[in-house]
Structure 1
């Protein structure tokens, strides 16, 4: 085992969205690649925003994508530890009380620098940093204080987090210096953006893992897609299993520029992973989505629609006419190609072997005889059989 230790440190204020999960994924991949340790740390010190069920949602989100953790910590159970370190800062005269809270005294005219593993050298002047709160009036530590103490106590070697935390890093460096501790290495990852390079909205894709799974996306596809949002493999390969990602992942290949969330690309990944499933496995998974359909009938249909399905939910769109009669009256092709349809009904009755090739030839022969467009005729048959345009 190497000495690499990473952590995913979410705040339980709601169900984590896809951006949070990418942070967890990158920390997981790096730890596993280095044969290190991956810690799940629940940062619940903001009691006003704490949502109890969020803890389970965080864990289930990770489990659903097979992102296992080695250790689990909860900050609200570590209050004595934070106050022990607060006493050390008090003894050094580096903090003071302010209306019930405790603030850290920021030394001025200091240059704070670190070599970010993604962005390179970053420099901040301490003059732009105001004295900041370490412990709130309710006795709970702030994110800045608890995070630094925990990263030191848990021997975190690499902090992989969103680049929105770059501006907080100077505060953390001041605390590391105050305690005389060595800081971990920082890798600030670019945010996932939506269309127009704007903040990703829920409509564009900032949804939870649960929502994507409920829409019929495979865990394998979500992991594959998220891994390539801000990270690039050594070659042009796009399809990766979780194990393959572990083998190939490196911080050096995380991009500086923000990736754009592309739903069509996610759909493409899902289609690729659906096609990798055996027909039996796919049948079982579809049955979970549509338990009202007979398993035997689903199994017969899988070979016909497997290549065309981009999510499990699309099975119903492709096949519902097999289980429910379509609304024929609403189909425009009936009136437009009435004579053709009448002729087809007669010719279909003469087909001896009900095979796809012979059915297609019958349609083409009727279209040619009546001087109708072949494609339009095939579309008309599809309209009538399926109720779909």
Structure 2
């Protein structure tokens, strides 16, 4: 209730604030979007690296906004300057861009932002928060609290001794009813203060709201006189995000379920400010299997909690987002099977199909999805992604790729474009080993255990020497295979599998054994893409060098 005394206290605390909430309403008008459009946000604090759970939330928020014809903005909640880390904002914006998360408005880098509803950094919005804080004091809904830390600690100790809930409420809100004269006296003596909300809630009552993920939620009403402005004048998270979500015209807040217990505070703040609350959706965390139990991914314990971990390993951003959509909605995997060539954003994400107990992080499944994503890329796209990754994490590979781009493209093109494209690469850090034998200057090492039992050392020497004498790099694929069949037969091996299966005792082995020997001699590996294609890319000189300088088996 507005009184002469409450009005005087508001003027005493905020003499510099002349703007009203109504004027802010005009400065930040409702957005002109469709009736069903979502306005969502991602609002991290620059206090450390971007967590994989943050990326998950950002992905969901941007996807929902886009599919509804709305928008999503990036707001930086940087009012806690003590915990802010150097480069925190640029680290967040760069990590989000690395993984394909693009916002319509908001902070796009340190000192950079776009959109008409800013500033989008909370540290630049102090005067806006003071407008609403002043109005709350004027209406008797907030007050200055001059309690010292020692006084608050003594109150907590007394509450604990009496087995009472700790906090500032009811008779424990010591400065709730200070008079104008008392406030003036304390200010004149230089006492520091915080601004507290005069809560009208009761712990014995309940508040019920509809959560987009969890459905109907009922919690105890909030009754604490929480701090809304700290002693330095900056707002607390609770107060700032309510003001910002309203003025930025947020319709749907997607956040982790660790904030569920704070919902009564936020709903109360919206009500006391006379503002309409957005729809809240609290999403379950990404979990990790730890022995026989599951737990949240930990920033301290788990390297995969940081999105930089996935960047360093070289997971394509598309693979991460594909995997996360599967975590978000169980229907996504079936949709992807039915729409293999559709863009990911064509999938309709539904909040009520999100699990409420938390999704388990599955590295094996993520790698399988990543293999499929990379297999769908053409050679030029793979080259571009690998080179970008290698410039930061594998300079030697980057040098090879840039020295002879045509050769690198040809290597990466092997087996691509077919319906059953090979899936040799799961992450970009697989590529150095995948390509290594194409760049080796001498005959590769061959593991004796890989050599077929049917081929003795003596036979191997004869077979390889014979093949080197007849090899023609200009042969087409049919001619090439025919020459290997003939080679096999000259040395006592069946030229085709039907012959061998019919009379296995009549042969030392079969053409597959001879082909494997040649594969090992040329590449050093038992498994590679199609050998003819590999040899064509290597070129005659490299192939002949491998055949003529065969090493002893190791």
Q: How high is the TM-score relative to the length of structure 2?
A: 0.63
Measured after TM superposition, the shift of residue 77 of structure 1 is 0.5
The question of 1:230 aligning with 2:328 is answered yes
User: Which residue does the alignment assign to 2:380?
Assistant: 280
The question of 1:137 aligning with 2:242 is answered no
Measured after TM superposition, the shift of residue 150 of structure 1 is 0.9
User: Which residue does the alignment assign to 1:114?
Assistant: 209
Contact 2:443-2:522 at 8 Å conserved across structures: no
Inter-partner Cα distance in structure 1 for 2:353 and 2:60: 11
Measured after TM superposition, the shift of residue 375 of structure 1 is 6.8
Contact 2:485-2:511 at 8 Å conserved across structures: no
Name the larger-Rg structure. Answer: 2
User: Which residue does the alignment assign to 2:433?
Assistant: 317
Measured after TM superposition, the shift of residue 380 of structure 1 is 5.4
The question of 1:341 aligning with 2:448 is answered no
Q: Tell me how large the CA RMSD over aligned residues is.
A: 3.1
SS, match of residue 213 in structure 1: helix
Measured after TM superposition, the shift of residue 183 of structure 1 is 1.1
Q: Which one scores higher on RCO, CA 8 angstroms, separation ≥ 6?
A: 1
Q: Could you say if the C-alpha distance between residues 303 and 68 of structure 1 is closer, same or farther in structure 2, counting changes exceeding 3 Å?
A: closer
Name structure 1 gaps, 5 residues minimum: none
Inter-partner Cα distance in structure 2 for 1:241 and 1:139: 53
Mean alpha-carbon deviation: is it higher for 62-71 or for 159-168?
Answer: 62-71
Measured after TM superposition, the shift of residue 334 of structure 1 is 9.2
Q: Could you say if the C-alpha distance between residues 352 and 68 of structure 1 is closer, same or farther in structure 2, counting changes exceeding 3 Å?
A: closer
SS, match of residue 205 in structure 1: helix
The question of 1:248 aligning with 2:348 is answered yes
1:78 equivalent among 108, 125, 139:
125
Measured after TM superposition, the shift of residue 362 of structure 1 is 6.5
Inter-partner Cα distance in structure 1 for 2:55 and 2:361: 14
What CA deviation, in whole Å up to 9, does each residue of 1:54-92 have, x standing for no partner?
Answer: 211222223334433222111000111112212222233
Contact 1:220-1:241 at 8 Å conserved across structures: no
Inter-partner Cα distance in structure 1 for 2:96 and 2:332: 26
Name structure 2 gaps, 5 residues minimum: 1-32, 107-119, 149-192, 391-396, 417-421, 495-506, 527-554
Inter-partner Cα distance in structure 1 for 2:459 and 2:133: 86
Inter-partner Cα distance in structure 2 for 1:207 and 1:122: 31
What is the number of equivalent residue pairs in this alignment? Answer: 387
Inter-partner Cα distance in structure 2 for 1:331 and 1:187: 56
Q: Could you say if the C-alpha distance between residues 225 and 91 of structure 1 is closer, same or farther in structure 2, counting changes exceeding 3 Å?
A: same
Measured after TM superposition, the shift of residue 174 of structure 1 is 1.6
2:197 equivalent among 104, 109, 119:
104
Measured after TM superposition, the shift of residue 249 of structure 1 is 2.3
The question of 1:149 aligning with 2:262 is answered no
What CA deviation, in whole Å up to 9, does each residue of 1:28-75 have, x standing for no partner?
Answer: 111111111212110001111112412112222233344332221110
Contact 1:224-1:242 at 8 Å conserved across structures: no
Measured after TM superposition, the shift of residue 330 of structure 1 is 7.5
1:200 equivalent among 297, 300, 308:
297
Inter-partner Cα distance in structure 2 for 1:343 and 1:48: 74
Inter-partner Cα distance in structure 2 for 1:346 and 1:76: 75
Inter-partner Cα distance in structure 2 for 1:197 and 1:321: 41
Contact 2:484-2:511 at 8 Å conserved across structures: no
What CA deviation, in whole Å up to 9, does each residue of 1:338-358 have, x standing for no partner?
Answer: 224212222312434455635
